[in-house]
Chains A and B, each alone.
Chain A
Amino acid sequence: AQSVTQPDIHITVSEGASLELRCNYSYGATPYLFWYVQSPGQGLQLLLKYFSGDTLVQGIKGFEAEFKRSQSSFNLRKPSVHWSDAAEYFCAVGEQTGANNLFFGTGTRLTVIP
Chain B
Amino acid sequence: DSGVTQTPKHLITATGQRVTLRCSPRSGDLSVYWYQQSLDQGLQFLIQYYNGEERAKGNILERFSAQQFPDLHSELNLSSLELGDSALYFCASSVGGSGGRNEQFFGPGTRLTVL
| Structural contact, B42 and A100, CB atoms closer than 8 A | no
Give the distance in Å from the alpha carbon of A49 to the alpha carbon of B102 in the complex.
Answer: 11
Of A14-22, A59-67, A69-77, A103-111, the one touching chain B:
A103-111
Interface flag for A83 (CB, 8 Å): no
Contact between A43 and B94, CB atoms less than 8 A apart: no
Q: How large is the interface on A (under 10, 10 to 19, 20 to 34, 35 or more residues)?
A: 20 to 34
Interface bits B34-59 vs A (CB < 8 Å: 1, else 0): 01000000111100100000011010
A45 in contact with B101 given A90-B43, A104-B42 (CB within 8 Å): no
Measured in the bound complex, the distance between the Cα atoms of B97 and A31 in whole Å is 17
- Mark contacts of A63-103 with chain B using CB atoms, 8 A cut-off: 1 yes-contact digit, 0 otherwise: 00000000000000000000000000010001111111111
Give the distance in Å from the alpha carbon of A8 to the alpha carbon of B107 in the complex.
Answer: 26
Check A94/B107 contact, CB under 8 A, given A101-B56, A104-B42, A104-B43.
no
**Interface residue total, chain B, C-beta cutoff 8 A:** 30
Which chain A residues border B33 with CB–CB below 8 Å? 100-102
Interface residues of B in 84-115 (CB under 8 A from A): 90, 92, 94, 96-109
Question: Given that A43-B107, A43-B108 are known contacts, is A100 also in contact with B102, CB under 8 Å in the complex?
Answer: yes
Q: Decide: A42 near B108, CB < 8 A? Known: A101-B48, A101-B58, A104-B43.
A: yes
Residues of A within 8 A of B (CB): 31-32, 36, 41-46, 49, 51, 90, 94-107
5 residue pairs A–B, Cβ–Cβ below 8 Å: A32-B101, A43-B4, A49-B103, A96-B100, A99-B56
